[in-house]
A and B are shown apart, each in its own frame.
Chain A
């Protein structure tokens, strides 16, 4: 019986723990918004010349809602949804291109010593360069659409590449032996042993790559290039061109929420894949 009781206590503990987590999380969010409101009100009351830079939570919330319903300040027919779509499509292409190049390259570098020896020096030189260092040149050359796409590509490329290389290295030689004694040759070893082994590593690369890619698109879009729209562009334009700071913060909030969403999707995908593969 003591075991049963211990288990019940533990279940109850975990339920209260979940409630506690929720409550504690809410407390900190509410405290943050309250502090923000107090500071913003104080600046307004004292007629500070900095007060326009910090609108209150109410104004930002209003701008947030309005930005999705009406065209945003500075534009006749563009809403926040269009900005979001424009940025997402850039992340999508940059990420897809990174995946298409990094996965075969990672497989080659993991598999063949020669490929590894050839690739390693370039990887070591280019990897420490922040993707944002490419912004000036790539934006000038590739302009408003392919510019951000190429920055996202650079940002997502290395996490995917390195994780795939590491995944290939992690293949258990005993499993290859087992597969060989069961009649598998090179092709079957690749599809039935190597690929299943690297999938969790690839998923980690994808998760990290998506996060980095999302940051890259925002930064790249801030470079003022004619004809571009997107959340990064609008963070910049709403402040510098239109002085609509409530919209600036609203756009920042949109960026944050989209980041959470992208990571969330990647995590669900990762869990799905690992459950499908039978690894818990």
Chain B
């Protein structure tokens, strides 16, 4: 296994007025090529910050992020990102949203069209190519988000609670769809979520984060074969283990919130 993403001693401090908030405290982890890793933690633990630093949207205060041995200094098309609020361009059609990165790279129109058509098929948006985002349901919008990120042929897919704003039914469907797309494209996926169920359903490995300041508390491999059955005793056992880890962190976070400082 070769490391695709390497994070070494990553710290992130936000300055809010005169106060300094330590969001991440010397994080270390690796994600292997074609691995699906979920970053799980209580809200406010900085899991989204990890993703934003790896994406190059946010500079690290200390430490290094390497992708394929290259230090991350800014955002780049080899790291595709999928956002919780979709972040689609409302004035562009589905096809034009998917082709955004290709336009930036100066790919000729005929080629762009061919690539976006293939992606439309892959994510199941046939017939909606000329629709605008506001005509689509949440699940459909996130399909566009995924296709748009894949258009640049990134080696890494960074997903920030991509199904967080979807209803439970759509969410389950989109998880299955994502696994189908993942097995078809074999991208390295770093997936942020606060849903234990989602993490156990999707991941090869789950990294549970501590409450602020964020660290990796525990890494739990999930070796269940896919497709996974949420009602199987094995699934429930892994779920229980992850939940126990998370519960402890949740308690700590609550105590911290209640204590005077």
- The interface of chain A, by Cβ under 8 A from chain B, is 172, 174-175, 177-184, 188, 192-193, 196, 277-280
Contact = CB atoms under 8 A, between A and B. Distances in A.
Interface in B60-115: 74-77, 79-81, 83, 85, 87-93, 100-101, 103-105
A177 B89 contact: no
Contact of A181 (B90, B91, B132, B149): B149
A172 B132 CA distance: 17
Among B74, B89, B93, B105, chain A packs the most CB atoms within 10 A around the CB of: B89
B215 to A, nearest CB: 25
A279 B148 CA distance: 20
Contacts of B88: 178
Contacts of B152: 182-183
28 contacts: A172-B87, A174-B83, A174-B85, A175-B87, A177-B81, A178-B87, A178-B88, A178-B89, A178-B148, A180-B56, A180-B57, A181-B56, A181-B80, A181-B81, A182-B149, A183-B104, A183-B152, A184-B100, A184-B104, A192-B100, A193-B89, A196-B89, A196-B91, A278-B92, A278-B132, A279-B91, A279-B132, A280-B134
Nearest to A173: B87
A192 B158 CA distance: 23
Interface of B: 55-57, 74-77, 79-81, 83, 85, 87-93, 100-101, 103-105, 132, 134, 148-149, 152, 158
A179 B100 CA distance: 8
A193 to B, nearest CB: 7
B87 A174 contact: yes
B153 to A, nearest CB: 11
Contacts of A181: 55-57, 75, 77, 79-81, 149, 158
B122 to A, nearest CB: 17
A223 B145 CA distance: 60
B222 to A, nearest CB: 27
A280 B131 CA distance: 12
A174 B109 CA distance: 26
Contacts of B87: 172, 174-175, 177-178
In the complex, the 7 A-B pairs of residues with the closest C-beta atoms, listed nearest first: A183-B77, A182-B101, A180-B75, A277-B91, A181-B81, A178-B87, A278-B132
Nearest to A179: B100
A273 B22 CA distance: 46
Given A180-B75, A183-B101, A279 B90 contact: yes
B81 A178 contact: yes
A177 B77 contact: no
B219 to A, nearest CB: 26
A278 B93 contact: yes
